[in-house]
Chains A and B, each alone.
Chain A
Amino acid sequence: KQEVTQIPAALSVPEGENLVLNCSFTDSAIYNLQWFRQDPGKGLTSLLLIQSSQREQTSGRLNASLDKSSGRSTLYIAASQPGDSATYLCAGQTGANNLFFGTGTRLTVIP
């Protein structure tokens, strides 16, 4: 059974700091990986999708990478802002048509 671990579980940083969130899969046979953010009580907002032929994706201040050989992904957030405060979830897709979600990292950016 695929299990996904995200480290750290919670992170509190001052505004402006760069930070890295980590995600690892027990089964490295994943096809693609998607990062989401979730605000309290809300649905999921897709941030980045790393497709099967890619190793990283960038959008604005966000950069995500995927190392399939190790089953690890990182999300890099540059120059963090209070509006970045949310829970960040990674999700991998394997052979079946569903996502395996990580446990999430709760990020707080302090003004």
Chain B
Amino acid sequence: KAGVTQTPRYLIKTRGQQVTLSCSPISGHRSVSWYQQTPGQGLQFLFEYFSETQRNKGNFPGRFSGRQFSNSRSEMNVSTLELGDSALYLCASSTTGRHDYGYTFGSGTRLTVV
């Protein structure tokens, strides 16, 4: 059974650019969540998608956006990159995202903004 696949694994971008990260959930999972991990703030929730709809959103600026496709694959986009956006971005998939199903995480995308 394939796990959660995130691409690319590493990215280096320049301030002001935009970036798109991709996440393919476990087959049959319809909920995809995104998290940002930094040394200073730890793991913080960005947003969650279920059946192509954003159900929940964390406290991040509008530069962070996402979407989900009909096959449950998800992308997140960060526009006008800032140095502080350098982080490990993790995607998690769940059957429904509702209670008691747990989450499976991908290996993450390491974004470095220079």
Contact = CB atoms under 8 A, between A and B. Distances in A.
Interface of A: 31-32, 34, 36, 41-46, 49, 51-53, 89, 91, 93, 96-104
23 contacts: A32-B99, A32-B100, A32-B102, A34-B102, A43-B6, A43-B106, A43-B108, A44-B90, A44-B92, A46-B102, A46-B103, A46-B104, A52-B100, A53-B100, A91-B43, A91-B103, A96-B56, A97-B55, A99-B43, A99-B45, A101-B43, A101-B44, A103-B42
B1 interface: no
Contacts of B24: none
A98 B105 contact: no
Nearest to B59: A1
B110 A34 contact: no
A51 B110 CA distance: 31
A43 B55 contact: no
Interface string B1-20: 00010100000000000000
A97 B105 contact: no
Contacts of A49: 100, 102
B99 A42 contact: no
Interface string B27-64: 00001010100000011110010100001101000000
Contacts of A53: 100
B76 to A, nearest CB: 14
A52 B99 contact: yes
Nearest to B34: A98
Going nearest first, the 8 A-B pairs with the smallest beta carbon separation are A101-B43, A44-B105, A43-B107, A49-B102, A97-B97, A98-B45, A51-B100, A31-B99
Interface in B59-110: 88, 90, 92, 97-100, 102-108, 110
A32 B47 CA distance: 19
Contacts of B92: 44, 99
B104 A97 contact: no
Contacts of B90: 43-44
Contacts of B110: 41
